[in-house]
Structure 1
Amino acid sequence: MRNLLPFRSAPAPTSKVAALAAVTAVVAVAAGIASAPVAAEHTDAHAVVRDGQNIRYAGLTVRIPAAGEGVQAAAQSTSGDISLTVTRSAEGKLVVKTDDHEHGDEDHGDEAHADEQAEAQAVTADSARPAAAKTCTDRAYALAGWKLPSFAWYYNPAGAPAAIAGTAASAISAGTNALSTACGQKRLGLVPSYAGQTSAAVQVGAAGNCIGNDGRNVIGWRAGSGRWLGMTCTYFKTINGKKTVTGTDTALNTQYKFFTTTANCNNAYDLQSVVLHERGHSLGLNHVSQSANASAVMTPALSTCSAGKRSLGLGDYQGLAALYGTR
């Protein structure tokens, strides 16, 4: 069940109002902006705030999209993931979802139930991935509701950490190409293609904000101010009744250390694993339970010096296969 989220206008907070059970998370928008606080059941520690033309939540910021469009900010942080998805219907209604709320009316695998509650973010990832048998039997996945028509991507090397500057491009390519298959299954129908290096900036702000959509799919580096390792901003619009991605950028936070081989890990995070997780967001995967589905790439937490999630689990694969088919 979706929960109706309470808006408050910055800077003055609004009080939470009694729960309205079983209400779809739809906020009427007048002139493109929700004009008054609206509240219902909402028990997480963070408030969803409308600040002018923006929606803010837990350090993430997205601009209210045009009618028929939407945007998601998804960040893999040092203690788990946070996400904020804002969709505006053609009729001007705004749907706001956060990672702290279950998405019961979205598509899931037969055995999958997305568990994106706050408690899951507090679970520390094991340093080693569960046994391959578990990785290739756990079918859990959760879908965000959109897909890419194709995936040509660019890399902007500006600002890459000196320690991995020479190997980062290869690790990023490997993380992206790992979207191809898993567990001996057929290759997925969507084939990422590297379009080359670019000087175009990754359109993710240092504070965890989605700052625009230039139509390119760029991955690059940002000296971020938040506690996030990777941040992906994905823009989509509804075309013939289906949500189609029009641009997706990923920033990697140089505030933290990354490694490309375990030999150069010193309290650092595996670049390839972070990239694969963020690519999952770009292609339309949401998070699954850290405790119940620890072998999946799309679990919230990632520990330092672990290179155990450089390939998809069966659930990750089946989620993508449900979107893009196989070949």
Structure 2
Amino acid sequence: MFALILSATTISVGPQVMAAERCVLPEGELSISELPSGSSAIECDAIGRMVAYGNTGVTVPQPGMTVEVDSLTVSGEIDGFALSVSKDGIVSYGLGEENTESTVGGSDVPDDLSGTVTTPGDKTEESDSDGADESDIPQEGDVPVLTEDDFHTTALSACWDGAYKHKGWAEYGTYNWYIGDGGMPGALSRTQAMWAFTESIHNIVNPNVCGYNDGVDAWSKYKGTTTYEADINTSGKCTDRDGKSTWDAGNLPSGTLAVTCSFSASLPPGMKDDLTEADVRFNTQDYNFTNNPTSSCRNKFDIRSVGTHEAGHAFGLGHVTGRDHENLTMQPYVGSCETQSRSLGKGDILGLKKIYTDIH
């Protein structure tokens, strides 16, 4: 008979001594091959470590949590992935954009803030001008870049396309969100940004286009401003969750317009996870934004088009790919000065209905 001593580094077998296999991770940022699926985040002491995949990355969450990063790129390239840690600590990844057909018969669980982390970088005291892009100043004689007839034609085309993809979570309660400090896209004041972001989120929770009345059981509530920042670093990667769903702007990698980091808590098998936090950041370091694209618009991106797309991720919608779906909000591309993504298409709404109809 022999005993396995977990705290020791050797196993004794009769007179021989055999080295025990231990999980020792390299220093610095990890790859998914260095922390593969099936690893124990607990035994490997991986919780709080950054794992990179493609051009993105996430911080390994507490057991029972999933974190997913979605980047909106100027090229339309898909960039993002999910990392889950089961309640017993086992790591798994979601590297594709597949529909998750889990039931939505779950419930809003109390938000556990014991695993949140507040670092010095999470809280700042910035002025409205810090990090803002160039001011969104209307010019005399400007007209909207899309006339009502143009917009109607675009919306009509989108209403023929029923494609959608959705993720592994739902907001079973109310999405409570904040605006961070510092500069806003388009150099908007925080009050102006609040209205632009509110409309973006309401495009998701109150869809009423393509002949579909609002039948989506999802809610949101603006909670005010905060000195907390979105849990997204300058590399466009998700940092530790701090417990506040924050929308802000700042520095992201060139080529990335915006990033959403979504955190969700595990529910019993077969049910979608419960969203606990979703942070959004606009890239005002490399790109200029506008809240009112007009005929003089050049190389600016519509705040509400980008915001509606990012809100779609927060509420569980994934990217739909291919040129055949270019009129849908959840295509992985928003062109400069375009406003069509403000209005959902048939597939966007069907995806929301799949997630949210009668979930409560």
TM-score band by shorter chain is: 0.7 to 0.9
Q: Is the 8 A contact 2:232 2:238 kept in 1?
A: yes
1:53 and 2:49 correspond: yes
Alignment equivalent of 2:71, drawn from 45, 60, 75: 75
Does the alignment pair 1:32 with 2:27? no
Q: State the Cα distance separating 1:246 from its structure 2 match.
A: 1.1
2:281 is the counterpart of 1:251: yes
> Could you report, residue by residue, the CA deviation over 1:116-142 in whole angstroms, capped at 9, with x for unpaired residues?
xxxxxxxxxxx9877333211211111
Match in the other structure for 2:16 = none
Name which of 265, 280, 284 aligns with 2:312: 280
Corresponding residue SS for 1:107: coil
Match of 1:151 in 2: 175
Query: Are the aligned partners of 1:206 and 1:226 in contact in 2 as well (CA < 8 Å)?
Result: no
Structure 2 residue matching 1:176: 3-state secondary structure: helix
Alignment-mate amino acid for residue 328 of structure 2 = A
Mind listing any 5+ residue stretches in structure 2 that lack a counterpart?
Answer: 1-24, 103-145
Could you say which residue in structure 2 is the equivalent of 1:137? 160
* Separation of aligned partners in 1, 2:166 and 2:281: 22
Distance in 1 (alpha carbons) for counterparts of 2:227 and 2:30: 41
Deviations 1:110-167 (A, max 9, x none): xxxxxxxxxxxxxxxxx98773332112111111110112212111242225644474
1:285 CA displacement? 0.7
Shift of 1:234: 0.6
Q: Deviations along 1:56-82, whole A, 9 cap, x unmatched?
A: 022312112222211001110111241
Aligned residue for 1:277, secondary structure, equals: helix
> Would the alpha carbon gap of residues 138 and 66 (structure 1) be closer, same or farther in structure 2, given more than 3 Å must change?
same
The alignment yields a C-alpha RMSD, in angstroms, of: 3.1
Identity %: 25
Answer yes or no: is 1:168 the counterpart of 2:193: yes
> Structure 1's 212 and 184: CA in aligned 2 closer, same or farther, altered over 3 A?
same
Alpha-carbon contact 1:152-1:194 (below 8 Å) kept: yes
Report if aligned partners of 2:186, 2:289 keep a CA contact under 8 Å in 1. no
Residue 289 of structure 1: aligned partner: 321
Counterpart residue number, 1:185: 212
Does the CA-based 8 Å contact 2:261-2:279 persist in structure 1?
yes
- Cα deviation 1:242-290 (Å, max 9, x = unaligned): 3111111101111211011113632011110111111111111111123
Residue pairs, 1:179-258, within 5 angstroms: 179=204, 180-181=206-207, 182-187=209-214, 188-241=216-269, 242=271, 243-255=273-285, 256-258=287-289
Cα distance change, pair 224–324 in 1 and its aligned pair in 2 (3 A): same
Paired residue for 1:111? Answer: none
When Rg is computed on C-alpha atoms for both structures, the one with the higher figure is: 2
Alignment partner, residue 348 of structure 2: 316
* Distance verdict in 2 for CA 1:216–1:12, change over 3 Å: closer
TM-score, normalisation: structure 2: 0.68
For residues 201 and 82 of structure 1, what CA distance do their matches in structure 2 show? 22
Offset of 1:223 from its aligned partner?
A: 1.9
1:320–1:11: structure 2 CA closer, same or farther, 3 Å change rule? Answer: same
| Distance in structure 2 (CA, Å) of the matches to 1:162 and 1:276 | 16
Cα–Cα, structure 1 residues 293 and 12, in superposed 2: closer, same or farther, change >3 Å? Answer: closer
Counterpart CA distance in 2 for 1:30 and 1:314 is: 41
Corresponding pairs, count: 275
Q: Gapped runs of 5+ residues in structure 1? A: 1-7, 17-25, 36-49, 109-126
**Whole-angstrom distance in 2 between the partners of 1:93 and 1:281:** 25
In 1, the alpha carbon distance for the partners of 2:346 and 2:66 equals 29
The Cα offsets for residues 72-122 of structure 1, whole Å up to 9 and x where unpaired, read as 011101112411211122343322233xx4536x239xxxxxxxxxxxxxx
Normalising by structure 1, report the TM-score: 0.75
The offset of 1:189, in angstroms, is: 1.3
Aligned twin of 1:40: none
Q: Secondary structure at the match of 1:178?
A: helix
2:292 paired with 1:261: yes
After superposition, what is the alpha-carbon deviation per residue over 1:211-239, rounded to whole angstroms, capped at 9, x for unaligned?
Answer: 12122211011222342111111111112
- Find the partner of 2:86 among 89, 96, 99: 89
